[in-house]
Amino acid sequence: MKYLFSSLFTIIALVVGNGQVITVGLGGDFPTLSAAESSISAGDTVLILDGIYSSGSQFLEDLTGTPSQPILIMAAHEHAAIFRGGTEAIHLINCSYLELRDLIIEQQTGNGINIDDGGDYATPAHHISIFNCIFRDMAGTGNNDLLKLSGLDDFLIKGCSFVNGSAGGSGIDMVGCHHGVIEDNFIDRAGSSGIQAKGGTQHILIRRNILKDLDQRALNLGGSTGLQFFRPPLPNPIVDAFEAADLQVYSNIFIGSWSPAAYVGSVRVQVVNNTIFKPENWVIRILQETTESGFLPCGNNEFRNNIIYLESDLTEVNIGPDTDPNSFVFTNNLWYVESGQSWSPMLPVTDSNQVLANPLFADTSFGNFSVPPESPAVMAGKSLSEPSLDYDQRSYYDPPSIGAFEGHEDVTNVPYLIQDASIIMGPNPSSDTVTIDGDFSEATIHVLDSNGILVQDYSNTDAPLIIDLNGLPNGLYFIYLQSQQHAKLGVWRILKVSE
């Protein structure tokens, strides 16, 4: 029987508009993005030719596509266009219906990419998507972000890598952003926080990400913002204000970090079906950093169906002043201390239907946090309408497993078809080879390591294709497949293990 790989992200139709194709780079139509700006219209595809771009910040202002004709800016070859150095790589100002794909952003001193509303809080930037980009190696040491978003609505960040950020910054920083999805990303050592949502940010879905070894707060669900920077602007007088609200944190994996999740001046935040592995100091924090009159106290938030695996006993919940911890809801969480000591977590309210047991992870040494059918996490979660899918995008059973992975035997071994039934992959994990079979002639097929670096190229190989993993170190890899016509796009994650 063949098994499909776990999906890094679901299939995205790559829509190339009916507009012109503009090339940027050495030998292209324009030497830089900024030089091409006045020639870009709705429906155009801007191909960034292979090379290293170190000419400084590329400002693009008021570029506007349409729902059916977005502007596409992408590397001509995946991850072969590298924006290196400068204060910023790309700054999008008041843009809409625009997509960025397959770029590498590295070694900036300010922010990697900056997207904002141009200072007019009444007209946010909107409908911007970022796919399969690598953000890495910030050259700044202060509050410098790999991806900075201010006043952006209706956005998607998918299948990206955020690695080695500034000590005082974030992987993804949002100020006054709304109606966004952040999914299937890899965030490792990205700064003080992995993802930060503050300044009136609302209605953000954060799901199926890996957040690893963040200096302070892997997720800063709220924060502290100058009142003049809130989007939309605060009323006068201030009434029922918040740093963040209506955030949904589903099926993520947290590894290490000082504190995986901090609720900071936030309300109606749901942290559900996540797996938290060996946090360093706290599991969660409940804080109120914006204390001006008219702000709601941090409260009415949820923490449900999560696995918390601790190396040793610590302070599970850090509670600050001016908060409302008694309004939190804790239910159906599984807690375990590796030392095996007799212990139960100290929480602000009762964790109803709590489980104290070893979740029996498959193999944490290789980052495999799935659970077997005999795990005490299986069928121990609270039935909820969301999330419906686990980290591997398999349906949760009813009642669901606790944690980011569904372990019920009725769904564990059902292949998940990442794009269509004509392409299958397996086995996973593997110690030697992986077979890909199906309809993918003349396709780009790359094997990438966990940092997004190309390690094998099987492009234009006919099916069935056997990928040889021998000689590669054990660990996490990604297999990327895209047809010449951009009709299909898939990325699968695989674990290379010893026999």
Give the C-alpha separation, 141 to 191, whole Å. 9
Residue 126 has pLDDT above 80, yes or no: yes
Q: What integer pLDDT is reported at residue 320 of this predicted model?
A: 98
Lowest mean pLDDT among 184-188, 228-232, 453-457: 453-457
Lowest mean pLDDT among 235-249, 286-300, 351-365, 414-428: 414-428
The model scores a pTM over 0.85: no
Residue 201 has pLDDT above 90, yes or no: yes
Q: What integer pLDDT is reported at residue 412 of this predicted model?
A: 39
Q: What integer pLDDT is reported at residue 359 of this predicted model?
A: 97
**335 in a structural domain:** yes
Lowest mean pLDDT among 204-213, 428-437, 440-449, 482-491: 482-491
Whether residue 236 sits in one domain with residue 201? yes
Q: Domain residues for 167? A: 22-412
Choose one of 357, 381, 412: the last residue of a domain: 412
Q: What integer pLDDT is reported at residue 302 of this predicted model?
A: 98
Q: What integer pLDDT is reported at residue 494 of this predicted model?
A: 75
pLDDT digits (tens, 9 = 90+) for 49-69: 999 999 889 999 999 999 999
CA 399 to chain centre: 26
Whether residue 209 sits in one domain with residue 161? yes
Confidence of residue 97 (pLDDT cuts 50, 70, 90): very high
pLDDT digits (tens, 9 = 90+) for 400-422: 999 999 999 875 333 333 434 46
Lowest mean pLDDT among 116-130, 244-258, 432-446, 481-495: 481-495
Q: What integer pLDDT is reported at residue 342 of this predicted model?
A: 78
Closest CA to 476 of 3, 8, 2: 8
Q: What integer pLDDT is reported at residue 430 of this predicted model?
A: 79
Give the C-alpha separation, 227 to 105, whole Å. 31
Choose one of 412, 436, 464: the last residue of a domain: 412
**489 in a structural domain:** yes
Contacts of 24 (CB under 8 A, 6+ apart): 30, 31, 32, 33, 35, 36, 46, 47, 48, 49
Whether residue 367 sits in one domain with residue 439? no
DSSP reduced 3-state for 210: strand
Residue 268 has pLDDT above 80, yes or no: yes
Give the C-alpha separation, 241 to 144, whole Å. 26
Lowest mean pLDDT among 226-230, 338-342, 400-404, 457-461: 338-342
DSSP of 395-447:
BPPSSPPSSSS---HHHHTSPP-SS-TT-EEE-SSBSSEEEEESS-TTEEEEE
Q: Which residue has the tokens 């509050």?
A: 143
* Mean pLDDT calculated for residue range 145-172: 97
E strands, 124-164, where? 125-131, 134-136, 147-150, 152-158, 161-163
Whether residue 432 sits in one domain with residue 384? no
Backbone φ, ψ for residue 200 (5° rounding): 90, 15
Q: What integer pLDDT is reported at residue 450 of this predicted model?
A: 62
Confidence of residue 425 (pLDDT cuts 50, 70, 90): confident
Whether residue 240 sits in one domain with residue 102? yes
pLDDT digits (tens, 9 = 90+) for 174-197: 999 999 999 999 999 999 999 999
Whether residue 181 sits in one domain with residue 96? yes
Choose one of 380, 412, 444: the last residue of a domain: 412
* Contact between residue 281 and residue 315 where contact means Cβ atoms under 8 Å apart: yes
CA-only gyration radius of the chain, Å: 22
* Contact between residue 214 and residue 188 where contact means Cβ atoms under 8 Å apart: no
Q: Which residue has the tokens 């449900």?
A: 304
Whether residue 374 sits in one domain with residue 407? yes
pLDDT digits (tens, 9 = 90+) for 343-371: 899 999 999 999 999 999 999 888 899 99
Closest CA to 103 of 69, 66, 129, 124: 129
Whether residue 429 sits in one domain with residue 404? no
CATH number of the domain that residue 492 is part of: 2.60.40.1220
Confidence of residue 464 (pLDDT cuts 50, 70, 90): confident
**341 in a structural domain:** yes
Number of domains in the chain: 2
Confidence of residue 16 (pLDDT cuts 50, 70, 90): very low
CATH number of the domain that residue 249 is part of: 2.160.20.10
Whether residue 485 sits in one domain with residue 379? no
